[in-house]
Structure 1
Amino acid sequence: MTANKRPSTSSLRRFISSRPYVAIAELRRRFIQDQPDAMTRLERDGQVAWVGLPDREAAKLQDLWLRDEIGLQMSVEVRAPVVVGVFPIRISRYVMDGLPHNGTNNGNGLYEPLSRPAVPPEPTTPIASLPSSAK
């Protein structure tokens, strides 16, 4: 890819979400042709990680990480926190809907959202009709 055809955040998200795991080396081969020795620092909530991507692409990766759309896999072979791969974080629908357990109520995969009991409105009594002792 040329410099003006670098990936956008949405195309990076789409590529990462289309697979269960993407190695940083694969991201470099697919999207980045220049700057072979680039290393960029990512930070989130005081946690620091180093990724072998140019600043522009690393900033997009950090943006996705900050929004909890991707997770980072760190290397266990070195002491420094080095990112070796990324994976999509998919939030299940039952978590979003607040359903119990695995999202199914009847066991066949079809579920009905939990219904909330209707709270009856409290009866209102006009002040004029209250007994004089209640006023």
Structure 2
Amino acid sequence: MSFGEAALRRKPAATAPCPCGGGSYGACCGPVLDGRPADTAEQLMRSRYTAFALRDRAHLARTWHPATRPDDLDSDAAQEWTGLTVVRAAGGVDDADGTVEFRARWRSGADSGELHEVSRFTRIRGRWLYVGGVVDPLS
């Protein structure tokens, strides 16, 4: 089975809670993962968190700026993303650039932790793209 097929099997129902914590999947990240452009940098970041949680490599690839996207987008199969907190966000419908500071919790077997990152985004031809981020080394 391919990575994409596995992601399709894990797609939540529209009424299920969104993995990013922003409401129901169908009203939150579902439309963005299905290809609708994100309105804000925060909305794109939330959809990318959800894509990591669902292992949707295709969404991660298409929303990552080609200049900074790694060749390998495979994730640790044992790692589970368990929660997201957005600390602050900037970058709306009229902006060209944005930032989102967030904390994403994870679990892998008996280990668990939190990723703290300030991500940078840019908007090209009406679509937000992830450029890169600075990870707190203590997270």
Please give the TM-score of this superposition, normalised by the length of structure 1.
0.23
Q: Indicate the structure with greater strand content.
A: 2
- Which entry has the higher C-alpha Rg, 1 or 2? 1
Instruction: Report the structure, 1 or 2, having the larger helix content.
Output: 1
